[in-house]
Amino acid sequence: MEQKKFDLNSIIGFALIFGILVFIMYQNQPDPKVVAAEKAQKELVIKEAKAKELEAKTVAKATVAVATGDSTQIAQLQKNLGNFAYSATLPSAKAGLTTIENELVKLTIANKGGYIVEATLKQYEKFKKGSGQLVQLIKDNNANLNVQLLTSDNRTLNSKDLYFEPTLTKVGTDQVLSMKLKAGANEFLEYKYILKPNDYMIGFDIRSQGLNKVLNTAKPLDLEWNLKTYRNEKSVSYENRYTEIYFEHEDGKIDYSGVGQTEESDVQKGTFVAFKQHFFSTILLTKTPFETAKLKSENLVHDDKIDTLFTKQFKANIPLAFTNGELDHKMSWYFGPTDYKTLKHYDKNLEKIISLGWGIFGWINKFIFIPLFGFLSSYIAYGIAIIVFTIIIKIAMSPITFKSFLSQAKMKVLRPEITELGEKFKKDPMKKQQETMKLYNKAGVNPMAGCIPALIQLPFMYASFQFFPSAFELRQKSFLWADDLSSFDEVIRLPFYIPFYGNHISLFPVLASIAIFFYMKMTSGDQQMAAPQQEGMPDMAKMMKIMIYVSPIMMLFFFNSYGAGLSLYNFISNLITIGIMIVIKRYFIDSDKIHTQIQENKLKEPKKQGKFQKKLQEVMEQAEAQKALDKKKK
């Protein structure tokens, strides 16, 4: 029989396999934080189930108590709910739903809690046009409205757990739904909903009657409004980027909470709170400003491959003050599109929740982009409107573009002389700068002339980055292969996920990247030829060459999940710019004529220096004098 030998390789192999198995087991063990969160969630579910069971038993007891006149059961009910036990005994204040609707919205209000449990926008669909799924801002318990009732006998009740009595009437063409939580025949807390025809704005009043002895009126009651926002667009990450809380406070100031993981804001003298979901918004407005309010936003998209149902968890806590011992707050709800024209129609600053940029960027959008694009899109298809819009903007900018290229051409002609000065005063940089400035002045060339036109165009470029993602009218509008200009134009679905890029290829960003590559190739060549060769210039040239390739790649990654409308605009914009450059160089810029003109300018009396040039000259002369003085001291 062959004797078994000690095999070191086998031992090492088994040890490695064992180590790998241990590592895998370690990596796959539950995260303690996840376990704790799941445990807390289960406990919360159990707690809510028990609360519902207890509530059902309470209602059942109330029914029995009313039917049998059992004084013991009635006493127990009064012990649990105090005066509001009266509402629980009313036959109409039981589980049920009431629906009110017009041409634009459909609202379902539950007797339990008296708040809206479904809000459907009847003219808009989710994700893709033709899907048949209407946009529902509220559904399946993703929202609730609660008033914490502090009773005079130190009891805390939540209105969301109690049953209201509904009464639906019609006043003219308006539907009026009164939801009353009763503490007696004439004592109640009322939510009143007023829905007008063809309107996204719903009147909403909260008032009380005869509750000054039932409730503790020494301090305000807390109105709690929570909304877990459903995803409505194709790209959850893109939608989430523009999902945030906006609010108006302190006499017309508009602010927002931010889009971080957790954002909180304390609001003073608030007049509206908007839970904005990119293209749709739920807004609570009040005629009498809230003294204070606490707002909180929590990000729910930690991994856009997994977290695809919800985007944010919004919470608002608003104290409701008493007036002469009663509540009387006239408010409104807005359930509708985040559309500039629609919101501006209400004349309540609501359009300012649309991020159009600050300062000059916002002005460009409000007074140029929005009116111009609105006019074009009312006559032609949206994709064509973007192209025509871009052409108009670029033509309007063409004189500035011409000045920029003309300045580059002049600098290119002067380059040999500037290089000669550099060689002549190689050991005296200050003198070289002085002589260079004199040459510019004699030739009538402003070295800053090429930069200023580019700076003027920058605000328009930045404004476009704000305008197109906010343009509601582009939503679900198709053009060529793009089925939705407000979302990415996917042409290829990848079987894997590329970090920072995604799992799809959008074509318009590819075309825009190619266009910007050729644009930078052309402009960088001209700039390098126009610029004088100076110390450190080789490194700058290398940097420019790198940027020619890096910038298009950055654009490709950045815009892959952005709206196709913005990528289309950038593609056409760069394409037109390239065309304008070719036309200007071929037909409007003659290097020989420019050279002749510069030589003629040198023979003329030098132009009076501008303030900037004069100041720069003085600084250089002072520096030169100081340098000479330092040499004498040595």
What is the per-residue pLDDT across 79-93, written as a single tens digit (0 to 9) for each?
A: 666 667 666 666 666
Quote the pTM value: 0.77
Give the residue among 515, 519, 524 at the shortest CA–CA distance from 572. Answer: 515
Pairwise CA distance, residues 343 & 352, whole Å: 9
Q: DSSP letter string over 79-145?
A: HHHGGGHHHHT-TTSSS-EEEEE-SSEEEEEETBTSSEEEEEEEEEESSSTTS--EEEEE-TT-EEE
* HSE (side-chain half, CA atoms, 13 Å) at 218: 6
Q: State residue 569's pLDDT score.
A: 93
Burial annotation 295-306 (CB, 10 A radius, 16+ → b, else e) = bbbebbbeebee
Q: Strand, helix or coil at 229?
A: strand
**Cα distances (angstroms) measured from residue 16 to each of 28, 271, 618:** 18, 66, 76
Q: State residue 207's pLDDT score.
A: 93
Average pLDDT over residues 38-53: 55
The two tokens of residue 292 are: 């204070």
Pairwise CA distance, residues 250 & 514, whole Å: 48
- Say whether pLDDT at 165 is over 70: yes
80-354 to CATH, choices 3.30.300.30, 2.70.98.90, 3.40.1190.20, 3.40.50.2020? 2.70.98.90
- Say whether pLDDT at 391 is over 80: yes
Average pLDDT over residues 420-438: 71
Q: State residue 131's pLDDT score.
A: 73
Average pLDDT over residues 552-579: 88
Pairwise CA distance, residues 346 & 318, whole Å: 23
- Residue 590, C-beta contacts closer than 8 angstroms, at least 6 positions apart: none
Radius of gyration of the chain from Cα atoms?
35
Tens-digit pLDDT profile for residues 579-629: 888 887 777 766 666 667 666 665 665 555 555 556 656 655 666 666 666
The two tokens of residue 471 are: 């343009």
The residue type of 5 is K
Q: State residue 346's pLDDT score.
A: 94
**Cα distances (angstroms) measured from residue 356 to each of 207, 251, 346, 351, 463:** 37, 21, 18, 10, 7
Decide which of 520 and 452 is more confident.
520
**Cα distances (angstroms) measured from residue 553 to each of 60, 359, 566:** 67, 30, 17
- Say whether pLDDT at 66 is over 60: no
- Say whether pLDDT at 333 is over 80: yes
Q: State residue 352's pLDDT score.
A: 92
Give the residue among 199, 355, 206, 211 at the shortest CA–CA distance from 276. Answer: 355
Average pLDDT over the chain reads 79
Pairwise CA distance, residues 284 & 548, whole Å: 49
**pLDDT confidence band for 558 (50 / 70 / 90):** confident
- Say whether pLDDT at 292 is over 70: yes
Give the residue among 240, 270, 229, 228 at the shortest CA–CA distance from 253. Answer: 270
Q: What percent of the chain has pLDDT over 70?
A: 71
Pairwise CA distance, residues 452 & 449, whole Å: 6
Tens-digit pLDDT profile for residues 471-525: 999 999 999 999 989 988 889 888 888 887 888 889 999 999 998 888 887 776 5
Give the residue among 571, 588, 592 at the shortest CA–CA distance from 580. Answer: 588
Decide which of 194 and 304 is more confident.
194
Average pLDDT over residues 289-298: 92
Each domain of the chain, given as residue ranges in start order, spans 32-69, 80-354, 363-614
8 A C-beta contact, residue 332 and residue 202: yes
Handedness of CA 457, 458, 461, 464 (dihedral sign): negative
